[in-house]
Amino acid sequence: MARIIETRRLTPVTKLYRLDAPLIAASAQPGQFVMLRVREGGERIPVTIADYDRDRGILTIVVQEVGATTKRLAALDAGDEILDVAGPLGGAIELPAKGHLCGIGGGFGSAALLCLMREYTARGYKTTAILGARNKDLLILADELKPLCDSVQVCTDDGSAGFKGFVTQRLAQLIEGDGPGRPDYVVAIGPMAMMRAIAETTRAPKVKTLVSMDPLMVDGTGMCGGCRVTVGGRPQFACVDGPCFDAHEVDFDVAMRRNKAYVNEEKIARERVDCMAARKELQ
Amino acid sequence: MPVKRAEKTAMPVREALARAHDFVEVNSGYTPMQASFESERCLRCQDPVCVDGCPVNVPIPDFIHAVADGDMASAAKILRSANPLPAICGRVCPQESQCEAECSMTKRFNPVAIGHLERYVADWERTQPLTVKPNITRKEKIAVIGAGPSGLVCAGELARLGYPVKIYEALHAPGGVLRYGIPEFRLPKAILDWEIGVLKAMGVEIECNVIIGRTITMDQLFDKMGYAAVFIGTGAGLPQFLGIPGENLNGVMSANEFLTRVNLMGGYKFPENDTPVKVGKRVAVIGAGNTAMDAVRTSLRMGAEEAMIVYRRSEKEMGARVEEYHHAIEEGVKFNWLTNPLEIVDDGSGWVSGLRCQKMQLGEPDASGRARPIAIPGSEFVLPVDNVILAIGTTPNPLLTRTTAGLLTNKKGCLVADEKSGLTSKTLVYAGGDAVTGAATVILAAGAGKRAANAIHEALGTRASR
């Protein structure tokens, strides 16, 4: 059980949760995730760790309401308990020699940049965060990230905030030397399509790039193999071998196809929760 | 006194076609009359060789005599003194290759149904009020990693010896493979819950959702949390894949994934429960061990019209318990022996449409001592299937060893541990069960857990006296 200390709505479909989880907060590292379950009979879902406060024992996660479990989670608020939270799982992001790290967050993936930027700024890296959203209302955590890194670059599809265009276009400009300049490392966290586009953007200029894979998982501890991702032609388990992999080695076609394996079932479960919410039966 | 019968008293089972579509237990257990009858079949040998066939040396004739005498309380006590998980082992042990293989009755007739009697006694015990109480007399705290068979037994034995024990479990529910792997129709979860209840009544604490090596490191258990010794019972949960083309197609799963979705997550109740399980009309399960039988029979129960085993060796080399095999046949499972999978075929949209195989014949024995299967040229064919489930074995989970310095493993990823005590390469860290042996049986894991508990007791006892 983990008690929710505070919640904050970031967008109409995204919510931030601060949890009382001292053991996880004490050992969490950038790039890792937790598995959570919100009710008996509920599924286990992986959620990327957004941030942690070791001293206060607080774990921060940001969750977008896309399916049955995330919608049930959204019905919880400060004072409520999340039935199961287990972690931190997966390997931490470890970068070699100091340099310029560019963290790219798409949609709610921006949340995971909080601990990544704070940690690597502290380690003496030059840090840039590129945040992408469809419009300024869907942009999250830009103000929180500003004090944590050297530069925050905002991109919106419609130009309602910052650079008008995709994160990949802004990244290409940086690689050319614009703004904070060419990164030595890129870490991308967000929708699979965005991560794939970033991999293509950095491939030719040979910028070392990690992507945080988000495949379907059942247990998250290495037991089911459902999260296998093809990396460099070899199967890897995202939960124990990842979740971050070399973007230029990942087979995104397979990963995107595999993530659609249960779309029909996910729809059934989601609609069921929507009906229950409409009848005020959640909780 | 009843006449000794040549034939084993048959276990009452539910009707095959009815049970193949639900998750209620297949075997319904002996009646008191059947148990009494069967117990009289025991020859009361001077030298009970059945005991040698048991990995934990249950005093088999003694408990069977108690059943024959109608003294169930003694039977239960005798049984539990040697085997802390009798209700579970009575159901899942491969008796035909252990105790019952040695039974003197086997020479001329059928063996005494030791497993069925074990189950009968343990099931009786569960109807009795719990009398155990915590008896903590020692100061040294012990941590047990993993709430599977070896961890549960180790914790129970340590609690009996007077130690405060805490089990850390990575998943949200204790039981390990007994929870996520073995289906309800073979091992009702109520039995597992009862056994866990006994441990809790003895004062054993269980904390779920803690991944040792991640949430807390091994060193922190000693340095920060003050544990005096640690037992590792993390099992062999990492599924193996074949490495054949098409394994990443949608509709291909490890048996671990399939069984976890159904058993641990309760996916058979989707959408009431949230975890979906997707089973098409035709399911092929690759492998012929107990996990393969569990997966193929679960496929039928999840609505498959046809469920089949694909195995590159023959019936003789099959690893499954003979009872599971017979039950699978009764339930309509098909068997493709001497059939080697070559490729999982894509339907054109990334889903499985078939399994391309070749026929095999048996040659000389290989390294495992079993006849080596050799491909028959030109025998390739495609089995049309919608799902492929891989049940070709598991290896120990590397999560703990990767994050713990000084914990040695062998080539296969199994922990290096002393055969008798379970002591690993780290001081006061013991291990047992599948994490040491690779995938094996519940009873072997239970035996290792018990031995390690006593080794820990001995090690700490020696220290205290210094």
Inspect the interface and report whether the beta carbons of A223 and B180 lie closer than 8 Å.
Answer: yes
Instruction: Calculate the alpha carbon distances from B362 to A65, B244, B317 in Å.
Output: 55, 22, 10
Residue found by looking up tokens 């007399």 in the block: B137
Q: What is d(CA B197, CA B187) in angstroms, rounded to the nearest whole number?
A: 16
Question: Nearest CB to B241: which of A84, A225, A265?
Answer: A225
Mean pLDDT (chain A, rounded) = 94
**Any chain A CB within 8 A of the CB of B261?**
yes
Inspect the interface and report whether the beta carbons of A257 and B261 lie closer than 8 Å.
Answer: no
Tokens found for residue B261: 């979705």
**Any chain A CB within 8 A of the CB of B256?**
yes
> Distance (Å) from the C-alpha of residue A226 to the closest C-alpha of chain B?
6
Q: What is the pTM (predicted TM-score) of this model?
A: 0.94
**Any chain B CB within 8 A of the CB of A122?**
no
Does the ipTM exceed 0.90? yes
**Any chain A CB within 8 A of the CB of B348?**
no
Chain A residue closest in CA terms to B170: A86
Judge whether B377 and B370 are in contact, CB under 8 Å: no
Contacts of residue B242, Cβ cutoff 8 Å, sequence gap at least 6: B286, B341, B390, B392
SS3 assignment, position A282: coil
Chain A residues 226-255 with CB within 8 Å of chain B: 226, 228, 230, 235, 237, 240, 254
Q: What is d(CA A12, CA A95) in angstroms, rounded to the nearest whole number?
A: 35
Question: Nearest CB to B265: which of A43, A88, A254?
Answer: A43
Chain B CB contacts of A45 under 8 Å are none
User: With 0-12 CB in 10 A as exposed, 13-18 as middle and 19+ as buried, what is B440?
Assistant: middle
Which candidate in B166, B169, B172, B390 is best for mutational testing of the A interface (most A CBs within 10 A)? B172
Is pLDDT above 60 for A132? yes
Residue found by looking up tokens 């073995």 in the block: B182
SS3 assignment, position A226: coil
**Any chain B CB within 8 A of the CB of A269?**
yes
**Any chain A CB within 8 A of the CB of B443?**
no
Buried/exposed B264-279: b ≥16 CB within 10 Å, e otherwise: bbbbbebbebbbbbbb
Amino acid (one-letter) located at B228: A
Judge whether B368 and B438 are in contact, CB under 8 Å: no
Closest Cα partner for A188 from A177, A178, A203?
Answer: A203
Inspect the interface and report whether the beta carbons of A269 and B276 lie closer than 8 Å.
Answer: yes
> Distance (Å) from the C-alpha of residue B396 to the closest C-alpha of chain A?
10
Inspect the interface and report whether the beta carbons of A224 and B257 lie closer than 8 Å.
Answer: yes
Q: How far apart are the first and last CA of chain B?
A: 58
Judge whether A180 and A126 are in contact, CB under 8 Å: yes
Inspect the interface and report whether the beta carbons of B350 and A257 lie closer than 8 Å.
Answer: yes
H or E element in which residue A253 lies: helix A252-258
User: With 0-12 CB in 10 A as exposed, 13-18 as middle and 19+ as buried, what is B217?
Assistant: middle
Q: How far apart are the first and last CA of chain A?
A: 16
Tokens found for residue B123: 């099931």
Question: Nearest CB to B274: which of A24, A219, A269?
Answer: A269
Judge whether B112 and B64 are in contact, CB under 8 Å: yes
Amino acid (one-letter) located at B311: Y
- Give per-residue pLDDT as tens, A201-221: 999 999 999 999 999 999 999
> Distance (Å) from the C-alpha of residue B104 to the closest C-alpha of chain A?
41
Inspect the interface and report whether the beta carbons of A254 and B273 lie closer than 8 Å.
Answer: no
CB neighbours of residue B91 within 10 Å: 26
**Any chain A CB within 8 A of the CB of B413?**
no
Q: What is the pLDDT of residue B131?
A: 84
Q: What angle do CA B129, B135, B141 make, to 5 degrees?
A: 130
pLDDT average, residue stretch A222-236: 94
Inspect the interface and report whether the beta carbons of A41 and B274 lie closer than 8 Å.
Answer: yes
Q: What is d(CA A47, CA A62) in angstroms, rounded to the nearest whole number?
A: 8
Chain B CB contacts of A263 under 8 Å are none
Instruction: Calculate the alpha carbon distances from A179 to A105, A114, A153, B13, B23 in Å.
Output: 18, 21, 9, 75, 62
Q: What is the pLDDT of residue B461?
A: 86
Is pLDDT above 90 for A170? yes
Chain B CB contacts of A261 under 8 Å are 250-251, 278
Q: What is d(CA B221, CA B165) in angstroms, rounded to the nearest whole number?
A: 13
Q: State the count of interchain CB pairs (< 8 A) between A and B.
A: 123
To the nearest 10°, report the CA torsion of A60, A64, A69, A72.
80
Q: Which residues of chain B are modeled with pLDDT < 70?
A: 1-4, 462-466
Residue found by looking up tokens 């039950």 in the block: B327
Q: What is d(CA A54, CA A118) in angstroms, rounded to the nearest whole number?
A: 13
Chain B CB contacts of A87 under 8 Å are 211, 214-215
Instruction: Calculate the alpha carbon distances from A232 to A1, A235, A264, B398 in Å.
Output: 38, 8, 30, 21
Strand residues in A99-220 grouped as ranges (E): 100-106, 126-133, 151-156, 163-164, 185-189, 208-212
Judge whether B239 and A224 are in contact, CB under 8 Å: yes
Q: What is the pLDDT of residue B56?
A: 86
3-state SS of chain A: helix, strand, coil percent to 5? 30, 30, 35
Which candidate in A219, A237, A239 is best for mutational testing of the B interface (most B CBs within 10 A)? A219
Is pLDDT above 50 for A12? yes
